């Protein structure tokens, strides 16, 4: 390893009887030492640059290695007034704890093998498996005359126990440490029923095989618009299950839908349900007997709100009463009325009105 520096010298200015003269002293001498002087491959040695007198100005020292087996910083700055400096040539990554459950965090520390120089040191910190663990911040800045900086590793619940390598990379050196992320309790989801009428909420239970050591948050999504789940749900630390409602939207026809729960884009559990279109609860008339010329309506009640464009076929069993061929419902409403036209008869006639599979009977009198 070699090094060189800007010339550092001193001058004396004096006045004699015969005029002025300068006396130039030789430049300061520079020495380089390493400790230890011999190291196994893959480890580091600490180098110290020493002047035989304090630098009169901030001085840049250029370092070079005669072999690729040893890597050194390209330059080291010696502040004015200092006579030595020990540049950082290595770092250590430490994690606490070194094993976490999925969803928990670990505190990390980057420690240099000597104090950072006047400009400080930036260390990039990365995760070897970003789908399981991410690092914040991505760059740790170690200030001048400091030797360490901190960061946080955040994890999600992995499909299986996963070892993640956390690496810190400085200007010309790096270090790493393993973090074991254990799978948290497996997640199961189930709806309380296989079907739900659109416009109502389906009851969903999320269950862990064992209590979570930390709060577990899952992103919810549906395979189609028949379900409108909340964006996420959290099972608190120490709990094994939670029950929530999943809104089902009104649909024109029975529609299967699958709900998924995921962490960091990985689906951990699914549950399926069929959202049913509304059906008729009953068909009701205000009068059981009518005569020609009366104004009569039949009321149709659905078991849930109608979606946009929802209609049902209507029919009459006898020409004594004429009905529209279909009845339309206002979106979001569950009730509609059908006007009936009562025609003249010569004898009592019982007529059956049918809408959506439900019926009511009306007697038409002469």
Percent of the chain with pLDDT strictly greater than 70: 81
The reported pLDDT for the residue numbered 124 is: 95
Residue 342: the pLDDT is 95
Phi, psi of 207 (to 5 degrees): -130, 135
Domains of the chain, each with CATH number or no CATH: 2-85 (no CATH), 91-182 (2.60.40.10), 187-276 (2.60.40.2030), 280-365 (2.60.40.10)
**Residue 23 burial (10 A CB sphere; 0-12, 13-18, 19+):** exposed
**Average pLDDT of the residues in 112-132:** 89
- With bands split at pLDDT 50, 70 and 90, how would you rate the model's confidence at 84? low
Indicate whether 346 pLDDT > 90: yes
The pLDDT of residue 263: 80
Mean pLDDT of 292-309: 93
What is the tens place of the pLDDT at every residue in 165-214? 999 999 888 899 999 998 766 789 999 999 999 999 999 999 988 787 77
Given a cut of 90, whether residue 256 has pLDDT beyond it is yes
Joined together, the tokens standing for residue 43 give 């480890």
The tens digit of pLDDT for each residue in 27-72 reads: 557 777 776 777 676 566 666 777 777 767 667 677 777 776 666 6
Residue 17 has pLDDT above 70, yes or no: no
Across 306-332, average pLDDT: 94
Torsion-angle region of 283 (φ positive above 0: left; ψ -120 to 50: alpha; else: beta): beta
Q: What percent of the chain has pLDDT over 90?
A: 57
Contact 79, 160 (CB under 8 A): no
Question: What is the end-to-end Cα distance of the chain in Å, rounded?
Answer: 120
Q: Quote the pLDDT of residue 85.
A: 61
Q: Which residue has the higher pLDDT, 4 or 363?
A: 363
Higher pLDDT, 344 or 19: 344
Average pLDDT over residues 135-156: 93
CA torsion through residues 163, 128, 70, 92, sign = negative
Cβ distance 338 to 285 under 8 Å? Answer: no
What's the pLDDT band for 117 if we cut at 50, 70, 90?
confident
For the chain, give the mean pLDDT. 84
């Amino acid at each position: 390893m070699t090094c060189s520096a800007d010339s550092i010298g001193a001058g004396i200015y004096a006045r004699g009887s015969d005029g002025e003269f300068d006396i130039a002293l030789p430049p300061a001498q520079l020495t380089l030492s390493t400790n230890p002087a011999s190291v196994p491959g893959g480890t580091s040695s600490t180098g110290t640059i020493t002047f035989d007198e304090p630098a009169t100005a901030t001085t840049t020292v250029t370092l070079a290695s005669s072999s690729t087996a040893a890597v050194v910083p390209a330059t080291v700055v010696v502040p004015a007034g200092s006579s030595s400096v020990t540049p950082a040539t290595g770092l250590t990554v430490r994690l606490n704890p070194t094993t976490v459950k999925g969803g928990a965090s670990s505190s990390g520390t980057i420690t240099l093998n000597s104090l950072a120089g006047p400009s400080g040191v930036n260390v990039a910190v990365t995760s070897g498996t970003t789908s399981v663990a991410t690092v914040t911040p991505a760059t740790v800045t170690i200030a001048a005359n400091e030797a360490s900086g901190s960061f946080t590793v955040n994890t999600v619940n992995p499909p299986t126990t996963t070892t993640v390598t956390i690496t810190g990379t400085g200007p010309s050196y790096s270090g790493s440490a393993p973090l074991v992320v254990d799978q948290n309790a497996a997640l199961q989801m189930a709806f309380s029923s296989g079907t739900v009428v659109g416009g109502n909420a389906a009851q969903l239970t999320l269950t862990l095989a064992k209590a979570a050591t930390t709060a577990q948050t899952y992103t919810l999504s549906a395979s189609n618009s028949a379900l409108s789940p909340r964006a996420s749900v959290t099972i608190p630390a120490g709990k094994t299950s939670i029950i929530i409602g999943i809104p089902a939207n009104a649909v024109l026809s029975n529609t299967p839908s699958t709900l998924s729960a995921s962490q960091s884009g990985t689906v951990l559990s699914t549950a399926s349900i069929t959202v049913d279109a509304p059906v008729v609860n009953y068909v009701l008339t205000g009068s059981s007997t009518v005569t020609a010329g009366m104004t009569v309506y039949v009321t149709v009640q659905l078991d849930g709100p109608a979606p946009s464009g929802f209609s049902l076929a209507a029919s009459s069993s006898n020409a004594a009463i004429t009905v529209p061929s279909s009845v339309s419902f206002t979106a979001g409403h569950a009730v509609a009325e059908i006007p009936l036209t009562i025609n003249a008869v010569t004898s009592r006639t019982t007529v059956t009105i049918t809408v959506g599979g439900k019926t009511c009977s009306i007697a038409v009198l002469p």
